[in-house]
Amino acid sequence: MMNFKVGQRYVSQSEPALGLGIVTEVQDRIVKISFPAMNDVRLYRSMGAPVDRFQLNPGETAKNDKGLSFSVESVKEVDGLFIYEGRGGRTMKESELNAKISIARPADLFRALTENRVSECAQFRRREEAQQLACKWISSPVRGMIGPRVSKIPHQYYLCQRACSSSTLPRLMLSDEVGLGKTIEAGMIWHALKSRGRVTRTLVIVPETLKHQWLIEMKRRFNTLFTLVDEGYLKGIFIADDDDKPNPFSLANDIICSIDFLIKQPALIEDLLKVQWDMTIIDEAHHLVCEDGFTSHEYLLANAVIQRSKGVLLLTGTPLQFHPESQFNRLKMLDPVRFADYSNFIKDQDAYRKLVNELNKLPTDPGQQMSWDDLNEAVPKKSMIRPWLEQESAKSMPADEWIRRIVDAVGTGSVVFRNTRKGVGGFPKRVLDEVALEPNERYREMVNVAAENDLDMSTDIQENGLLCTSFSDAWCLDERYVWLKQFLKDHKDDKVLLICESIQVVLALESLLLEYLGEGAFSMFHENMTIMARDKAAANFSKENGANLLIASEIGSEGRNFQFAHHLILFDLPLDASLVEQRIGRLDRIGQTENIIIHVPYVKGSGQEVMFRWYHNGLNAFGTPMMSGGELFLKYTDDLIAALAEPQNYLDHFVEDVIPQVKKDCDSMRKNIEKGRDRLLEFNSRNPAKAKEITDEIERIDGEKELQTLVFDSLMDRGLEIDKSIIPGCFIVTMGTQVEAGSVPGMPENIGGIPGSNGAGGRVVQAVGDFSEGSGGDDDARYSDSSSLTITFDRKVAMIHDEVDFVSLEHPLSQGVLDFETTLDNGAVACNIWQNSGMRGLVMQYNFAVEFSISEDWGVSDIAGPKYISVLVAANGDDLSEKIPELKNASFKDVPVPQGNAAVNMTLKYFGKDGLAIARRVVMAQAKELADAAAVAVENRAEQEYQRMNHLLMMRGKAGNNTQLQQLRKNAQEWKKIVSTPQLRLDAIRLLVCR
């Protein structure tokens, strides 16, 4: 009887295709073995279980899920578990082995060959192609940046590459101005790190109003369905009478949670702090306040979480010179060593601001090439950095790289990144269409009476008229609605986004326009709709032949981007200035191709005019992006509220006396913001040349066709159906009747669901199906049938059609195909006739994976990634590998392995021993060249990181025997040594009968 222990690894005798199993439970006479590669589980009786214990032998490669691999030198058993030991004291428990490693040894492959257990030629080829693609992907410098459904915006790709380039996880503040895509930047950094195996557990903390935006963005753009922890989720996992309640934050790897929800749940915070996070992302980080002796609950929570997280991304669009003490304390959370003392921080910032002013004439436009002559001319003789410049006589780096190091050392450039609209450029103009409406006296009398009779609602009624009340018979008299009917008639062919604050007004407009325009002429988007219905509405609005009008409540300004529309109707104006900027930001974003026309209808002499004057004449919110509205609102609250409540008495005073002062204060704040603009930080936050290298490489990969061919061939071979969609460049993938539900990663059934993702009641959202069900427009771009998926391999098509999955190398469907074709020994053994080969006799093809024993955490897989090498050896021992290129277009025919022939049997034995040794020598020679080049590249990269760190410490007066520098030196030596010794793994063999 086997002595089963949790963590032991086994292979099924009767179902070897299940791959490598792991014992997860042993109870009485039953053992539970999970097979992760196939997402399957088996229960066996302990006595006589049809499984074999899996053990690696010395010389074989141990590899875990993190990408760490090494050659096994010895094996020992501790408490029933094998411990594999490699060079340098490396160890790995058998429970940590990657479930997707090949379970077949060379002897197994040749045994399968002699027993005629062979795959078809097509399957062998797919394995080759999948292995080659997988190796290219792992070794790609843009790994993790290929899959996101995003436009190729240079500064975002540069920030992503820079954030991922260090051997430590990034701890950064992303502080781009509104409209420059901080959410996308954070998502790209996270996706790149996740794809490289450097991040497993992620926590996203956001304001309550942004939780659905993040949920949708991470699914839509990054193919990851996060778990939204909210009231509904907790109800779904907690059983009232169960004392042993699970930690909700340990049940999923990728989690989104509202900071407002957390603060109200102290017990939930305790659970949260029991989990170690690889990456924590906090949006709207300017709400983390710690200044003047006051510390907000949000700051305390964020600080506690960040201390338990390796990587951190703080997102804020607030100008950095506002509230310096809070800014310092946020930086302190990111780097408590560097930002340890506030008084020193203020001194350093004063010195840095002086430096920024000194270098005002330095050409910081990324389009210009900065030279050392420019630096010598621009840096004053008495500047703090002049001595460093004069020491840099060797010119060991480009001038622009030197100035970036200055920003890192003297400023906050290694922690803070900020791009501005002025710096990035390419934004459209905001064009105001002021629509001043004459009052309908009869209707205004009704409004005044309603306001007098309901003092609690009087301000709302003065601003929104009767549309926010239940007096539906009078709704059609509203002056703005009368104008809207004519506007829609005049712009029937234009895409128009209408946003208003009140859900009551939204529903009133829906009722009126249903009668006027009819059903299907417009889409609705508000908080009373499910998240899936909202997504469907947004998709319908985005379609060329979909609805031309989208009516949204304030939730419509939460992160939804509609750059394809150019008309925005602000049907009302909220008190919160940031919401106005959010609304405009739905259209005024990178990617907008035309000027934005902002239509603001208001009734003369009403509360609506009060708000219009506040935003237009006071804050200039419709002309330029606004960053100071909140500060001014606090200063002028009493005046604004008084004018809103009784416009008939206070409007003239408000316009003539208050608004000029508001404008003066606003202009002053804008000047201060521009004066405090950090052009050096902006320069450090973008690098067009580097960004172009990245986007060019992604464009090259996008243009390759091998992936589409492999995915389609693999899926069809497994019984799935592929049909062309009527959407150009799109296809419909459908599960065949014989395909088991959940067996194909990336298809709807396999993505799963998350409780409570609509934030109410814990309803289960079934990923793609629920996010885009029946998204309108083309009937066959469907998600309503849970067995089908509409996909495209074209990035441009995917950017137009949100409801279509963008399949790149990093999409779950592609990754599932790569896993299926390269694991479980599918296509690992074949026997083919090679027609017209120009040779006679038997030839053996050996396919090797050359792997380096590196960890993904080192961040060097792009220069020391795996390679896939094929070798041909003839029966007489000749190396025929020069004929490998001919195999790609050669004609092959499946044939059984010749049986019963003594000469053939001897040849097969030869191929299994002496031929294999010859093939290993051939591959090892190539592997040695690869290893030598990789070792030099790894050493150079480590040296660059060392020199950069040394430079920074020297400029900060802390150079010398620094612990960080010592660790970098140690890393460089260790990595070079490890990379110098590649590991060979025989992946597949094919017997070729040459004719």
Q: Render pLDDT for 803-828 as a digit per residue (tens, 0 to 9).
A: 899 999 999 999 999 988 987 678 99
- What is the chain's alpha carbon radius of gyration, rounded to the nearest angstrom? 32
pLDDT of 61 reads 79
| Measured distance CA(442)–CA(242) in Å, rounded | 63
Q: Which residues contact 149 (CB under 8 A, 6 or more apart)?
A: 220, 221, 222, 795, 798, 799, 806
Q: Residue 833: enclosing H or E segment and its boundaries? A: strand 829-835
Task: Give burial (CB, 10 Å; 0-12/13-18/19+) of 809.
Answer: buried
| Measured distance CA(917)–CA(555) in Å, rounded | 66
Q: Render pLDDT for 981-994 as a digit per residue (tens, 0 to 9).
A: 888 889 999 999 99
| Measured distance CA(238)–CA(648) in Å, rounded | 55
CA separation, residue 22 to residues 43, 98, 159 (Å): 12, 10, 40
Running DSSP on this structure, what letter comes out for residue 595? Answer: P
CA 923 to chain centre: 37
Judging by DSSP bridges, how do beta strands 290-291 and 74-78 pair with one another?
unpaired
pLDDT of 699 reads 93
| Measured distance CA(644)–CA(795) in Å, rounded | 48
CA separation, residue 245 to residues 232, 241, 262, 268, 968 (Å): 15, 9, 18, 12, 44
| Measured distance CA(182)–CA(156) in Å, rounded | 9
Query: What are the φ and ψ backbone dihedral angles of 814, each rounded to 5 degrees?
Result: -65, -45
Nearest residue to 177 via CA among 610, 913, 677, 603: 677
| Measured distance CA(526)–CA(507) in Å, rounded | 9
Query: Do residues 402 and 683 make contact, with C-beta atoms less than 8 angstroms apart?
Result: no
Q: Residue 553: enclosing H or E segment and its boundaries? A: none
Judging by DSSP bridges, how do beta strands 254-258 and 202-206 pair with one another?
parallel
> How many alpha carbons lie under 13 Å from residue 936 in its C-beta half-sphere?
5
Exposure string of 785-804, with b = 16+ CB inside 10 Å and e = fewer, is ebbbbbbbbbbebbbbbbbb
Strand order in the sheet with 416-417: 227-229, 254-258, 202-206, 277-282, 309-315, 171-174, 416-417
State percent of the chain over pLDDT 90. 46
pLDDT of 45 reads 85
SS3 labels along 383-431 = CCCHHHHHHCCCCCCCHHHHHHHHHHHHCCCCCEECCCHHHHCCCCCEE
Q: Residue 305: enclosing H or E segment and its boundaries? A: helix 297-306
pLDDT of 629 reads 65
Q: Which two tokens stand for residue 96?
A: 């940590």
Q: Render pLDDT for 924-970 as a digit per residue (tens, 0 to 9).
A: 999 999 999 999 988 888 888 887 887 777 777 666 557 778 888 88
Q: Residue 815: enclosing H or E segment and its boundaries? A: helix 812-822
Task: Give burial (CB, 10 Å; 0-12/13-18/19+) of 478.
Answer: buried
pLDDT of 156 reads 93
Q: Which two tokens stand for residue 983?
A: 């590991």
Amino acid at 168: T
Q: Residue 684: enclosing H or E segment and its boundaries? A: helix 679-684
Running DSSP on this structure, what letter comes out for residue 370? Answer: P
Judging by DSSP bridges, how do beta strands 496-499 and 567-570 pair with one another?
parallel
Query: Do residues 856 and 198 make contact, with C-beta atoms less than 8 angstroms apart?
Result: yes
Domains and CATH numbers, the chain: 9-105 (2.30.30.930), 111-119+828-994 (no CATH), 133-141+703-820 (3.30.360.80), 341-414 (no CATH), 430-674 (3.40.50.300)
Q: Which residues contact 39 (CB under 8 A, 6 or more apart)?
A: 742, 750
Cα dihedral 89→93→94→98 (10° resolution): -80
If you write DSSP's letter for every residue of 890-950 in order, what string do you get? -EEEE-PPP-S-HHHHHHHHHIIIIIHHHHHHHHHHHHHHHHHHHHHHHHHHHHHHHHHHH
pLDDT of 762 reads 29
Query: Do residues 435 and 599 make contact, with C-beta atoms less than 8 angstroms apart?
Result: yes
Beta bridge pairs of residue 206: 258
Running DSSP on this structure, what letter comes out for residue 25? Answer: E
pLDDT of 451 reads 81
Q: Render pLDDT for 76-120 as a digit per residue (tens, 0 to 9).
A: 999 999 999 987 778 999 999 988 776 778 988 999 999 999 999
Residues of the chain with pLDDT under 70: 1, 17, 67, 102, 239-243, 318-322, 366-368, 393-396, 413, 556-560, 591, 627-629, 675-677, 749-786, 824, 957-961
Maximum Cα–Cα distance for the chain, whole Å?
110
Length of the chain: 995
pLDDT of 676 reads 62
| Measured distance CA(897)–CA(114) in Å, rounded | 7
Q: pTM here?
A: 0.83
pLDDT of 528 reads 86
Q: Render pLDDT for 843-855 as a digit per residue (tens, 0 to 9).
A: 999 999 998 877 7
